[in-house]
Amino acid sequence: KDFDLTPNRVGVVLSSGEVTVKEGDLFAGWVGQMNGAKDVELAAGRIGVLRENGSLVVKDGTLWSSWTEQTGDVANFEMTNNRIGVVLT
pLDDT (0 to 100) of residue 60? 98
Spatial distance between the Cα atoms of 49 and 27, rounded to a whole number of angstroms: 24
**Structural contact between residues 62 and 52, judged by C-beta atoms closer than 8 angstroms:** no
Rg, Å, the chain Cα set: 12
CATH 2.40.10 fits 2-88, yes or no: yes
Distance of CA 7 to the CA centre of its chain: 15
Model pLDDT for residues 44-89, shown as the tens digit of each residue: 999 999 999 999 999 999 999 999 999 999 999 999 999 999 999 9
Residue 18's pLDDT band, with cuts at 50, 70 and 90, is: very high
Q: Which amino acid type is present at position 57?
A: V
Neighbours of 54 (CB within 10 A): 14
pLDDT value at position 16?
Answer: 98
Model confidence band, residue 6 (pLDDT cutoffs 50, 70, 90):
very high
